[in-house]
Homo-oligomer: A and B are copies of this chain.
Amino acid sequence: MDAAHSTINQVLVTLFNHILRIEENALSFPGLSIREVHVIEAACEAPDTRITALAQMLHVTTGSLSVAVTTLERKGYLLRKRREDDRRVIDILPTEKAKAIQKKHIAFHQEMIAAVMKQLTEPELSILVKALHGIDSYFTEKETQKA
């Protein structure tokens, strides 16, 4: 492969690995595993969402999520609320404690984006967005093929 090819590959791979590990550090809270933090975040981003839907977002089975919600409820981060119009359905609600976690996550993202933008001019930024969009739509296509 040619030089540009290999450069892009390199930088994408290392960046990706970096983000994975840094996010793990940024999102480590005492008494919470990474998985649990992800559940909390999903519940914050989509409050009043039922177990099944939340499980789909997180790509786990409802059984797995049910277990996770139980422990997070016990730890004081989530609440179960039975729907009155259909009492089979249970909505998940984040507590204030959960929202505090989410707030730190958002701050982490803000900081990251600010670091990116600081280094680029206006036109460079739009090229970056275009490129990332392009990559993403490629992947979206790929994924819908599989499914």
Contacts and interface: CB of A to CB of B under 8 A. Distances in A.
Given A7-B129, A8-B129, 9 more contacts: A4-B117, A4-B125, A5-B113, A8-B113, A14-B136, A18-B139, A116-B134, A116-B138, A128-B128
A64 interface: no
Given A113-B5, A135-B15, A21 B129 contact: no
Interface residues of A, number: 46
Given A4-B117, A19-B16, A117-B8, A138 B124 contact: no
A62 to B, nearest CB: 19
A132 B11 contact: yes
A115 B133 CA distance: 12
A46 to B, nearest CB: 14
Interface in A1-50: 1, 4-5, 7-9, 11-16, 18-19, 21-22, 25
A142 interface: yes
A146 interface: yes
A139 B12 contact: no
A136 B112 CA distance: 10
A113 to B, nearest CB: 5
